[in-house]
Amino acid sequence: MTLQMDLPTSTADQYPTRKSTEPALLYRKDPTVWGSGDGPFTSDELKGYDGRGYTQVESLVNADEVKAYRAELERLSSDRKLRSDERVIVEPTSDEVRSVFEVHKISKVFSDLVNDPRLVERARQILGSDVYVHQSRVNYKPGFGGGSFYWHSDFETWHAEDGMPRMRSVSFSVALTDNHTHNGALMIMPGSHRTFVSCVGETPEDHYRSSLKSQHVGTPDQQSLTYLADQHGIDVLTGAAGGVTVFDSNCMHGSGGNITPYPRSNVFIVFNSVENACEKPFSAPSPRPEFLSARDFTPAGR
């Protein structure tokens, strides 16, 4: 493993990954906050986001909205017709729904949410431009069997397989259930967003079909993970339903399985800058399907 290798700024691929037999840790070449600071986040909140790579907003959506989102979540998970849709992913060891992708195109309820000014204006403030929805999904993580999500940087996949050029995207996780330390809460290494983990292993054709259930290519090596954890520690992000976690695309994060009776469900929305629209994949034979990587760059909230 190469530690903190720098690259010339003229290199076309600023974040090479899946191209070497050895993993490497690369310096981040992009700002975390691209905007001027004007918007719903306070200067202190933006400063915290810039330093940690994430921030949390309590009660961004109210109890009635949470109730409506949960009802829609239940409707989608019980719709047998949707089970044959490629956008619906089930747990690898059961028939339980794991995720439903492109949920803003399946559901009017969630379409309204991805265009909600409370989210869109915060994304614009961080990214310094209009934004579009790169990806949306609902994650269920049911009680007694919700699977884990191994440590990863979202940007590594979006760069390698979707062709996202720079680290100019942000994720919003809207909690639909209470997040406890014991029901598979999100874990983040604060400050890890400043280091890019270049992974090993070539991307197979149609890799997404297997990776959505259990990813192996594009996952960081244990030595890199240990180094980042030693440097930054691990934050376990808990909070009540209705809260939102906002985190940078390159944060190293993951979550454990849920063996408690209490589900941990959330709506996950990725906003990308319209000035950072996806191109040809940097380390994959072909782009992933549009339900995973939107090619419609129409600004959200317009």
Note the pLDDT of residue 11.
41
The answer to whether the CB of 270 falls within 8 A of the CB of 170 is yes
> Is 133 a residue whose pLDDT tops 90?
yes
For 3-47, what is each residue's pLDDT tens digit?
A: 444 444 434 799 999 999 999 999 999 999 999 878 999 999 999
Section 58-78 average pLDDT: 93
Check residue 191 and give left, alpha or beta (phi > 0: left; psi -120 to 50: alpha): left
Report the range of poorest mean pLDDT among 26-30, 90-94, 105-109, 261-265. 90-94
CA distance 161 to 250: 15
Fold adopted by 37-292:
Jelly Rolls (2.60.120)
Q: What's the whole-number mean pLDDT along residues 182-209?
A: 90
- Long-range (24+ apart) CB contacts under 8 A made by 278-281 are 278/134, 278/158, 278/162, 278/163, 278/164, 278/165, 279/163, 279/165, 280/163, 281/160, 281/161, 281/162, 281/163, 281/203
Residue 92: its pLDDT value, please? 67
Give the mean pLDDT of 81-103: 80
Structure tokens at 2: 């190469």
Mean pLDDT rounded to a whole number for the chain: 90
The yes-or-no verdict on residue 204 having pLDDT over 70 is yes
* Number of Cβ within a 10 Å radius of residue 35: 17
Question: Does residue 87 contact residue 106 with C-beta atoms inside 8 Å?
Answer: yes
pLDDT > 50? residue 2: no
pLDDT on residue 8: 40
pLDDT at 59: 96
Binned at pLDDT 50, 70 and 90, residue 302 comes out as confident
pTM score over 0.85: yes
- Which tokens is 276 given? 């950072």
User: For residue 240, what pLDDT band results from cuts at 50, 70 and 90?
Assistant: very high
Q: Which region among 90-94, 163-167, 200-204, 260-264 has the lowest average model confidence (pLDDT)?
A: 90-94
Residue 7, pLDDT score? 40
What is the side-by-side strand order in the sheet with 195-198?
A: 2-5, 24-27, 195-198
For the chain, where are the alpha helices, taking DSSP H only?
43-52, 63-78, 103-106, 108-114, 117-127, 154-157, 208-211, 222-232
Specify the pLDDT at position 6: 46
Q: What is the pLDDT of residue 210?
A: 58
Where in the chain are the domains?
37-292
**Dist. CA 52–CA 54, nearest whole Å:** 5
